[in-house]
Structure 1
Amino acid sequence: MKIVHFADLHLDSAFAWCEASGDVARRRRDALRDALLAIVDLVRETSADALFCAGDLYEHDRVTLDTGKFLRQTFASLDPVPIYVAAGNHDWYGAESLYATEDWSDNVHIFREDTLRPVRLASGITLWGGAHCAPANTDNFLGDGFRVEGEGAHVALFHGAEQSWLAAQGEGKVPHAPFDTADIRNAGLDHAFLGHYHRPADGAHHTYPGNPDPLQFGEDGERGAVVATISAEGTVERERRVVAVTQVHDLSLDVTELTSRQQIRDALRAAADGLGGLARLTIGGDLEPSLDLHEDTIREQLLETFDAVQVRKSGLHLAYDLDEIREEPTVRGQFVRDVMDADLPTDERRRVLRMGLRALDGRDDLEVL
């Protein structure tokens, strides 16, 4: 049988991470809805037999009644194609969750227990699904001696943290429902369709689709859903399909060779050419002391192209010629001579010189970067 698998859509996210607010944040939340509609279209396009969702479909603490209606109508539009939902730590199942309060169409199957329960998918194929029933402290779904029963292929659907991936990626993710890769086969499962990690990952016996539309800067890999074919023997063939609506870009600006404000403007214009959506700009290098570099001015220029912009610095310094300043018959010169002659560690001397020279020059533009 063929299925479409996705997770971690996070409907109703605040989008504070990209410094978006007002209409911009609302457009980003609408883009998440558009991504779900694209996933539903993918089910139709591929003639899939079922749709899997491995949790964090929405944000429990922010979700609106309108989002509940949107989900109910969207899932109903696929009827009679079945939809299987395994709630995660952000959309955990409870008496007040959308999963309990909405009047879902007959094709929607929501797992409601924190232990894996079986559902017959097709001849010779069984799905085992479970839900987070609290925002934290969900145990390993594959622990406590869990083992599948019955003949044929067995696959699982849940939201959990495979621990080797957690350690390798260093995503800063909390290990909700942690498990080891070996637990999948030890439980008699052929494959686990998972959610929680936002980076796509294809293991021999597990699949993380990643979030289908960007949720933060720095995300790599294709943003979309997985089309998988499950055989009665338990083999799984996968194909990733992009459904992302939001464009997120990481830009960089090295100011070392730039000597005028116009060159900075030209460099920003070239970096943003042909792009749109959201952007994070990282500024680094040695800045010519005579140049002003204000964050608000840079953001204002980039907002001519992007919906929202975040500006940060990494290794950005003023390019003072200390040898030249030291020879000056000025307060600056005396300051540099005194610091250079002082018995200070190298890093502290560098910090004192930069802070002092900035203060003497009346510079405040780098403090906000």
Structure 2
Amino acid sequence: MKRIKFLHCADMHLDAPFTSLGADTGKASERRRDLRQTFGKIMDIAKTEKADLVLISGDLYEHNYTGKSTIAYINDKFREIPHAHIFIIPGNHDPYVANSFYRNYAWSSNVHILCGDNPEVVLHDLKTCVYGIGFKDFRQEAAQIRDIKLSQKDYINILLLHGTVDMDFRQDNHLYNPVGSSELAGLGMDYIALGHFHGRSDDIGGHGLIYNPGSPEPLGFDETGEHGVYIGSISKDGDGHRCLDMSFRCTGKRYYANMDVNISGCDTEEKVEDRIRAAVEGNRCGHGEKDGLFHVTLKGYAKPGLKIDTRQLTSCFKDRVFFMKIKDNTAPDLDFDAIKREPGLRGLFARKIFQRMEKTEDQHQRELLLKSLYYGIEALDSGKVEIE
């Protein structure tokens, strides 16, 4: 009975710019340090778990931003687990181009870069063969899986792939190395270590062998929820019967949360602040508030006289959370029944809008009409409209 243990991660994106956090706050550089710490944590897990293999399925670092010191840091971490074979495939953010560090750096002896002329490594002592489909450029629209042929069918066979699986191939947005799960399953692999999409996907296609761990550290507000790596083991007997055991280990240091906060009924900024604070406390995702990055959208109806200053509100949370961005999508609390009865232009405008709303069943159209009603009343009352 052959058995190996592995750690599978992907999409680390070391040295990502984090431009959305602003250049003058220091938060972007702190998030880059977070990525390094999370990577170090992953290597510690590999050491503690005594993993035979570490599988890194693309986008380990950012080619356009990463310097040699980061590569040295990565390599030092690899040297700390000499018992483990490190397998890396280049992704679309760290492709195997002419000036790639994958080509031009003296990696530790336990590191294998699978790309170009080196798509396969046989480990006879572990009776394991590892294959890789890496990126040779920043975009690769056709997966080269037909070039993969099993050289050791009686060994444990693993494939690393960075790309899109089971997507609508007629839509070319975000399609990198597009391939179907059934086609992958037909290769005869015992495990397929996927990367590229930052959300975790277990057992893609239901074939019992394709897994995508997502990004170990969340990178943006579209990456909420848990983030981590897989710890897995594969055993295979002499008849070729395979047993795959998988578990997920959370590694994310920070977390992102998108929150809608209804401030209807609030007549002071202090009460708005209290609503936001309560929402933050309810969205900690098992972390501390200081680890959270929050995108808050204020909704509902603002009482007359309440002026919402998003910058001032944000400053109230600067020592409470890691990062917060507040967007004001509230509308003034207006009595439209009373306005429709007015004899002047405001009343006529309101009646016309409500007549059009009654004639349409399209919810999106109704929302646009309601928004235009608020803007129209604001323009009539103040002579101007402020639109974010």
Normalising by the residue count of structure 2, what TM-score does the alignment of the two structures yield?
0.84
Structure 1 residues 138 and 351: alpha-carbon distance in aligned structure 2, compared to 1, 3 A threshold: closer
Alpha-carbon offset, residue 345 of structure 1: 2.8
Distance 2:386 2:300 in 1: 12
Residue 225 of structure 1 is aligned with which of 224, 229, 242?
229
**Does the alignment pair 1:304 with 2:322?**
no
Partner AA of 2:151 in structure 1? E
Residue 337 of structure 1 is aligned with which of 340, 347, 359?
347
The answer as to whether partners of 2:163 and 2:178 remain within 8 angstroms in 1 is yes
**Does the alignment pair 1:279 with 2:291?**
no
Alpha-carbon offset, residue 176 of structure 1: 0.5
Distance 1:37 1:173 in 2: 33
Distance 2:201 2:379 in 1: 49
Structure 1 residues 173 and 122: alpha-carbon distance in aligned structure 2, compared to 1, 3 A threshold: farther
Distance 1:349 1:41 in 2: 56
Deviations 1:253-299 (A, max 9, x none): 11123233221121122233451232111222222233112221222
Distance 1:322 1:341 in 2: 9
Percent identity over the alignment is 25
Partner of 1:37: 40
Structure 1 residues 11 and 363: alpha-carbon distance in aligned structure 2, compared to 1, 3 A threshold: farther
Structure 1 residues 138 and 110: alpha-carbon distance in aligned structure 2, compared to 1, 3 A threshold: farther
**Does the alignment pair 1:120 with 2:120?**
no
Residue 357 of structure 1 is aligned with which of 377, 380, 383?
377
Residue 17 of structure 1 is aligned with which of 15, 20, 23?
20
**Does the alignment pair 1:246 with 2:248?**
no
Distance 1:104 1:48 in 2: 19
Partner of 1:189: 189
* SS class of match (1:66): helix
Residue 94 of structure 2 is aligned with which of 79, 91, 116?
91
Tell me how many residue pairs correspond in the alignment. 358
Partner AA of 1:119 in structure 2? V
Deviations 1:158-195 (A, max 9, x none): 2111124x79xx9x961110110111221122220111
Alpha-carbon offset, residue 116 of structure 1: 4.1
Alpha-carbon offset, residue 361 of structure 1: 4.3
Alpha-carbon offset, residue 247 of structure 1: 2.9
**Does the alignment pair 1:100 with 2:116?**
no
Query: Which sections of structure 1, spanning at least 5 residues, go unmatched?
Result: none
Alpha-carbon offset, residue 130 of structure 1: 2.6
**Does the alignment pair 1:289 with 2:282?**
no
Deviations 1:313-333 (A, max 9, x none): 56x3222112223456xxxx6
Alpha-carbon offset, residue 119 of structure 1: 2.8
Structure 1 residues 25 and 190: alpha-carbon distance in aligned structure 2, compared to 1, 3 A threshold: same
Q: Which has the higher contact order (CA 8 A, sep 6+)?
A: 1
Question: Which deviates more, 335-344 or 259-268?
Answer: 335-344
Alpha-carbon offset, residue 303 of structure 1: 2.1
Partner AA of 1:293 in structure 2? I
Deviations 1:45-86 (A, max 9, x none): 111112110010111111122212211212122224211101
* SS class of match (1:133): coil
Structure 1 residues 53 and 363: alpha-carbon distance in aligned structure 2, compared to 1, 3 A threshold: farther
Distance 1:284 1:181 in 2: 42
Query: Which sections of structure 2, spanning at least 5 residues, go unmatched?
Result: 282-287, 358-365
Residue 319 of structure 1 is aligned with which of 324, 328, 333?
333
Normalising by the residue count of structure 1, what TM-score does the alignment of the two structures yield?
0.88
Distance 1:114 1:131 in 2: 11
Distance 1:163 1:266 in 2: 45
The answer as to whether partners of 1:20 and 1:308 remain within 8 angstroms in 2 is no
Residue 148 of structure 1 is aligned with which of 139, 147, 150?
150
1:4-83 equivalences under 5 Å are 4-19=7-22, 21-83=24-86
Alpha-carbon offset, residue 129 of structure 1: 1.4
